[in-house]
Amino acid sequence: MHPRWLIAASAVLALTAAPAGAPSTAAAAGPVSAPQGTVALTLGSTAGLTGVLPGDAARTNPPSAGTRLILEARVDCRKVRCVALTFDDGPYRYTGKLLNTLEAAHVHATFFLVGAKVSKRPGLVRRMIADGHEVGNHTWSHLELTRLSLAGQRSQVTRGARAIRAAHVPRPRLLRPPFGSFNRLTRSLGVPLINWDVDTLDWKYQNSASVIRRALRDVKRGSIILMHDTLPTTVSAVPQLIRKLRAKGFVLVTVSQLLGSTKPGHVYFNGRR
Ligand code: NI
């Protein structure tokens, strides 16, 4: 169960009706008791699917006849083409701009935070949660875990989680090991490990067009896309990337929405099930 995602039907409808750029009402709504993985809210007829949302998104990708309008916060990824955008290594100076972009587009993403950076920008971390994003652990100081003892790995993970809790947000459930690097000791730490199947190599090329090109080339149903909100070139690429992914029929969700229930010690590269 991930009660964060269970929002009242009235709030869902309010969000659907909200004008472009209006703040999401979803985060302010209290949780209701509905099972995790509920069926997507469906408006209109049942033919093709484009992941269209109200406001900006609807104008950019107007629904054709027979297109379903889907509220991505309630989507069932066993039934639609979900993709998770993930942003590592923040929070950083560009993260606020990214949050503005995601809010305007009504997209929920997943941020894997470096614990040592959280105390410098705790307000951004609280905003992530308030805006409906998922916050995961990217360790305390981004060391390569496979070079550490079990105690060293545990310390990196525990300190990272503690730093996130210190920003007064929920304890992260998911771990992204730095560099995607893990071993059997990492798997014994008792948390789900979240890697990726689409690497934008944004840190290497630092070019917005390259981020978009690589993501669109490699994306599939269930993909987890790796990016970094520490790079202005990546943050600048996100509005167009969102539009193009939606135009291809993908629905953008958090990692927990994509995966559903997760197992401690299991390594996830995508959400195809
Ligand atoms: Ni990283």
pLDDT attached to residue 166: 98
Distance 63 CA to ligand 1 centre (A): 37
pLDDT attached to residue 55: 38
Joined together, the tokens standing for residue 22 give: 């209006």
pLDDT attached to residue 118: 98
pLDDT attached to residue 41: 39
Tell me the catalytic residues.
88, 228
pLDDT attached to residue 74: 74
For residue 225, the cross-strand partners are 85, 198
- pLDDT tens across the length of the chain (273 residues): 333 333 333 333 333 333 443 334 333 333 333 333 333 333 333 333 333 343 334 444 443 433 334 455 578 999 999 999 999 999 999 999 999 999 999 999 999 999 999 999 999 999 999 999 999 999 999 999 999 999 999 999 999 999 999 999 999 999 999 999 999 999 999 999 999 999 999 999 999 999 999 999 999 999 999 999 999 999 999 999 999 999 999 999 999 999 999 999 999 999 998
Q: What is the spatial distance between Cα 140 and Cα 135, in angstroms, rounded to a whole number?
A: 14
Joined together, the tokens standing for residue 130 give: 């308030």
pLDDT attached to residue 38: 35
Distance 114 CA to ligand 1 centre (A): 8
pLDDT attached to residue 273: 82
C-alpha distances (whole Å) from 222 to each of 38, 163, 200 are: 17, 30, 16
Distance 138 CA to ligand 1 centre (A): 7
Q: Is 88 helix (H, G, I), strand (E, B) or coil?
A: strand
Distance 91 CA to ligand 1 centre (A): 11
Distance 181 CA to ligand 1 centre (A): 10
pLDDT attached to residue 73: 57
For the whole prediction, is pTM greater than 0.95? Answer: no
- SS3 percent helix, strand, coil of the chain, rounded to 5, is 40, 15, 45
Closest CA to 182 of 75, 268, 95, 77: 268
| Residue pair 54/18 in contact by the 8 Å Cβ criterion | yes
